[in-house]
Structures are given as C-alpha cells and as structure tokens.
Amino acid sequence: MNTERAIVISPHIDDAVISIGDTLRKFDNALVLNIFNQSRETITGVNPKRVDAIRRAEDTVITNNYGYDFAYANLPDTSLRGVEWDDFAAPVNYDLLEQARYWIKTQLESQKGDFGLFIPASYGLHPDHYLTTLTFSEGELSYLLDWVPFEIYCEQPYFLVDNGKRHDHQGTNYLRNEGKLIVNTFDVVYKREMLRVYESQLSEQRIQLLAGKNRAEFVWRAKKDFFTKSKER
C-alpha cells in the first residue's frame, strides 16, 4: 500500500503484531484497533480485569519500542461468551457483529489524513476472527473500501500450523485463487524480540515456531469480493 499510515483491524490484542508486526515497519505510523480484548482464559487463574491490564501493558511496551499505537473496543472474546475458540461452526453473533462494526466505523471516522487498512483473512475460522472479517462484508465499512486501500493479512499461527487448509471458508479459497500474495521475509532476531514482549501469551517454544520455522508474513491484495465470499463457510 502506498500510504504513510496503516490501521490494522485485530481480533485480539496480539494478533496484529504476531501476524504482520514486521510488515508494519514500512509505515510512518501504525494504529491497531483491537476488537475482542476482554478475556477470561488467556492467563490461567488470573482475574479477567487483571488479564486485560497485563495485556494492555504489553501493548504499551510495543508502543514505546516500535511506535505502534493501540485502541480497544472492549468486546468479550469467546471465553466470556461460552463459545469454544475452535468451534468453527459457531453461529454468527449478529448483535456482537454490529457492535464491532459500529466501533470500527467510529474509530475510522475520527482519523485524519490518508491511511490504508489491514484486515484479517480469518484463516482457521476462530469465531472472533471470523466476526472481525465479517465487519467489512456489508454496510458503511464495505462502502469505505471503495476509496480506502486495503490488504488482507494472514493470521498466525493458524496458517503456519495447518497451512490454512483445514478450516477454510469461501473467502480464503477466493484469496488463493484470485488474490495477489505478498510475502514479507522478516529478520528473525528482530521479530523474536517483538514477540517476546507478549510473554503472558507466548512461550519460547511458540516464539521459535512463529519466528524460526516460519520466516515470513503474508498479505493479499484482493477485491471486495473477498468479503462477500467470506459470508459463505
């Protein structure tokens, strides 16, 4: 994208940095909009409010060290909604979808100057990721894509674990057949340092998987048809 500023739509607090943290380095400024940051189970035995505080503190370190900014919708993730994170057939929660869609819209309307968007592909069909992708499938956010440049990013570790083939939806099939894949090979040492900030979520073994076995970040350039196709599982 030929913009100086990037805005990333991120299902959870660490998804943007895990998936495209190095890609964002080419922009003068990056803002991450976190949708489902309220959680219960990401740190075992820790009070949910404390979990959110710990994870926001990790984001603050990313801001201080790398210059990325963050905003939070404060919507509940699957652990607070009684939905399993790997329930790929979970019904779409349309009330939550509209809340997410409205919050993203208000955040984007408040921005000044030009920007480009990074939107998740929903590889792996995690219910939170899928809802995040669907926010751009219709309404004002869909119209926004007629004039705001955007790219679709591949969420890790889902793509790395099963190469994105186990839990496809029609949108990801569309990306493979019609999208233009852009591969960003990153500096492994740099990426590991960035990932270690999220010590509450990422073990050293997981970091070695994300920045060792894997040495690239993936985004696609695609038409808006991707979002229409994504409604078909």
Is pLDDT at 164 greater than 70 in this prediction? no
Q: Which helix (H) or strand (E) holds 185?
A: strand 180-185
pLDDT tens digits, 49-84: 788 889 999 999 999 999 999 999 999 999 888 888
Phi/psi of residue 132, each to 5°?
-65, -45
Q: Copy the structure tokens of residue 41.
A: 């189970």
Mean predicted lDDT score pLDDT of the chain: 91
CA 17 to chain centre: 8
Q: 5-226: CATH homologous superfamily?
A: LmbE-like (3.40.50.10320)
Unique residue bearing structure tokens 């404390």: 50
Q: Copy the structure tokens of residue 171.
A: 């949108």
pTM for the full model?
0.94
pLDDT tens digits, 208-230: 999 988 899 999 999 999 999 99
Residue with the larger pLDDT of the pair 169 and 107: 107
Is pLDDT at 28 greater than 70 in this prediction? yes
